[in-house]
Structure 1
Amino acid sequence: MAVPANTYTRFTANTNVREDLIDKITMTNPESTPIISAAGKATAENTYHEWQRDSLRAPNKDNAALDGDDATASAKTPPQRVANVCQIFQDTISVSGRAEKVKKAGMKSAMAYNKAKAYKELQRDMEAMVVSANAAIAGSGGVASKSGGLGVLLYSNAQHGAGGSTVAHTSGAPTTAPTAGTGRALTEALIKAANQAAYIASGMIPPAVYMSPNHKGVFSSFAGIAVNRVEIAARARTPARPRSSAARMCTCPTSATSKSCLTTSWPARRWCSA
């Protein structure tokens, strides 16, 4: 059907119709930085930041001395002195006077908005550096300094495919990048091996496993521990079994996923005294 002649339509009024633009700006990218948010903070007083670390010798079940015997000094080694290099993360914002003055949708100040946006972007840059295999670069007048990422800092419990390796970081800054191994699929056996190696190296159970959304999908398919097992009385009138000093295994849930699906808490199996 045809529009009646001389009808004043929406298209006729195109020059004086007000825009319908909501006064908000929606950010479409993830902003969370779970790893650096979980890490502790310290203040560096030099661009070359150092710390010391030491380790205990292996336990000796045959460490037995004769009664009244002369003591002999054992060999001792000093702590390792290791370091990393401070990296400057920067973004430059330039806003003209007119752009700052005019009335804008979703923001009052273009400078304030872009500063807040840049702050989130710089946090994501820092997170990317932390999880990278970047080697530390001391820097110079013409070369920017770079911090070494976790890929070069972790070597005692690193998991590599065939041909891969990470140089032991025992002194100074980690300046050698890891050698990439042959690519392989993520398996439950690899996760368990990494968890066990971390415990053997540190004596602590890793509280969380961080992975990409794709790996989280694979991780969720692992069989893991089917059920939780706890010791309870069968009925209210049935007394619980006496507690003993024998060890028994306590099992924990395989995974508990956060809303972002990027952080997966994975309590490990452990032996605990009754």
Structure 2
Amino acid sequence: MALATNTQTTYQTVGIREDLSNVVSRIDITEVAFQGNIGKSKATQRYHEWQTQALASANPANAALEGDITAATASTPRVRVGNRTQIFKKVGAVSDTARAVDIAGIDDELDEQKILKGLELRRDVEAALLQNAASVVGSDSTAPRMAGMESWLTSNVSRGTSGANGGFSGGTVAAPTDGTQRAFTQAQLDTVMQSVYSNGGKPTLLFLGPAQKTAFSAFTGIAVNRVNNDGNSQVTIVGGADVYLSNFGKLTVVPTIFSRARSALIIDPKMVKKATLRPMFTENLAKQGDATPFHVIEESTLEVVNEKAHGIIADLS
């Protein structure tokens, strides 16, 4: 095959317009499953407080004499706990020229950047809620910080060798100490679920990072052979599991990239809330020359209604 003499082709043509799609593709995970499942409450101060209450242990030997003189028994006092609000901020700036030029798939670069910064901030909040950070009071030179979910958990825990609890004490929440990492096992999950049940908890969610979700799917349980009977002539390989029916309740597995890879969090979504002092908002700042700066801000904290309702299997490899 050959071209006719002097045939003009695109290889010689000057001025061909670029072919740039008007669709901008983004694959980053923006689903915030923890925030989406837990409750919401309102914070009115930088130190957000609430109270917990425990009942006295059951006494099977509770027997009174006939005609006994009634005397009051000691009551279990309420416990007052709290967490610090954390100011989350994302800052951006867009030049006036960037707003004026024609950009594929974008109407206004300033609006687009505000949306992107808002999505990034939501991810930051999600990660902070799930982490093992200690609470920080804050000062003129130190940013206040909330204690994450891992730091609160002290009652229903499974930790590696040398691992230690954090927990609330005297107005602050300490971070836990990481221990020696070990493989995630079904026995660990069963033990912590039994502990949660014994403390009155009714968790329904199990938050796992990708590696631990894969390990979880390898649990054999009672049914060693999983069968997918969907009527198809071809065999389907079932390589994952999304629900765990334990002796003490059913857990729905929630994969997440925002929790620590070394931890499995057992959560009762009714017993944890995000308390918001200032909901997320976007605000243009004073114009700087030929550009428009802005920030996106949220101020909130984690309210662990009662830490005995949850559990953790920590120090997983």
TM-score, length basis structure 2: 0.68
Query: Which runs of no fewer than 5 residues in structure 1 stay unpaired?
Result: 228-249, 267-274
Q: Deviations over 1:97-119 (max 9, x none)?
A: 12112221111011111111111
Q: Note the aligned Cα RMSD (angstroms).
A: 2.8
8 A contact 1:136–1:147 mirrored in 2: yes
TM-superposed deviation, 1:9: 3.1
Q: Deviations over 1:33-63 (max 9, x none)?
A: 1111111111100010000101111100011
Q: What is aligned with 1:73?
A: 72
Query: Which residue, 176, 191, 194 being the options, matches 1:193?
Result: 191
- Mapping for residues 119-268 of structure 1, pairs under 5 Å: 119-174=118-173, 176-201=174-199, 203-226=200-223
Mapped to 1, the partners of 2:249 and 2:53 lie a distance apart of: 34
Aligned residue pairs, count: 239
TM-superposed deviation, 1:196: 1.5
TM-superposed deviation, 1:91: 0.6
TM-superposed deviation, 1:256: 6.2
8 A contact 2:131–2:149 mirrored in 1: yes
Deviates more, 1:41-50 or 1:111-120: 111-120
AA of the residue aligned to 1:78: P
8 A contact 1:216–1:261 mirrored in 2: no
- Mapping for residues 8-157 of structure 1, pairs under 5 Å: 8-13=8-13, 15-157=14-156
Mapped to 2, the partners of 1:60 and 1:254 lie a distance apart of: 29
TM-superposed deviation, 1:12: 1.9
Per the alignment, do residues 107 and 146 of structure 1 end up closer, same or farther by CA in structure 2, a change over 3 Å counting? Answer: same
8 A contact 2:205–2:252 mirrored in 1: no
TM-score, length basis structure 1: 0.79
Query: Which runs of no fewer than 5 residues in structure 2 stay unpaired?
Result: 225-245, 267-317
Q: Deviations over 1:177-218 (max 9, x none)?
A: 1111111010111111121122222x2332111101111111
Local SS of the residue matching 1:94: strand
TM-superposed deviation, 1:257: 6.1
Mapped to 2, the partners of 1:119 and 1:55 lie a distance apart of: 40
Mapped to 1, the partners of 2:133 and 2:176 lie a distance apart of: 9
Per the alignment, do residues 36 and 21 of structure 1 end up closer, same or farther by CA in structure 2, a change over 3 Å counting? Answer: same
8 A contact 2:33–2:256 mirrored in 1: no
- Point out which structure has higher relative CO (alpha carbons under 8 A, 6+ apart): 2
8 A contact 1:80–1:171 mirrored in 2: no
Local SS of the residue matching 2:49: strand
8 A contact 1:155–1:169 mirrored in 2: no
Mapped to 2, the partners of 1:58 and 1:253 lie a distance apart of: 22
Local SS of the residue matching 2:91: coil
Q: Deviations over 1:205-244 (max 9, x none)?
A: 32111101111111111111329xxxxxxxxxxxxxxxxx
Task: State the percentage of identical aligned residues.
Answer: 34
TM-superposed deviation, 1:146: 0.6
Local SS of the residue matching 2:80: strand
Q: Larger % of strand: which? A: 2
Mapped to 2, the partners of 1:261 and 1:154 lie a distance apart of: 19
Q: Deviations over 1:63-121 (max 9, x none)?
A: 11112222222223421110000001111121111211222111101111111111111
8 A contact 2:135–2:147 mirrored in 1: yes
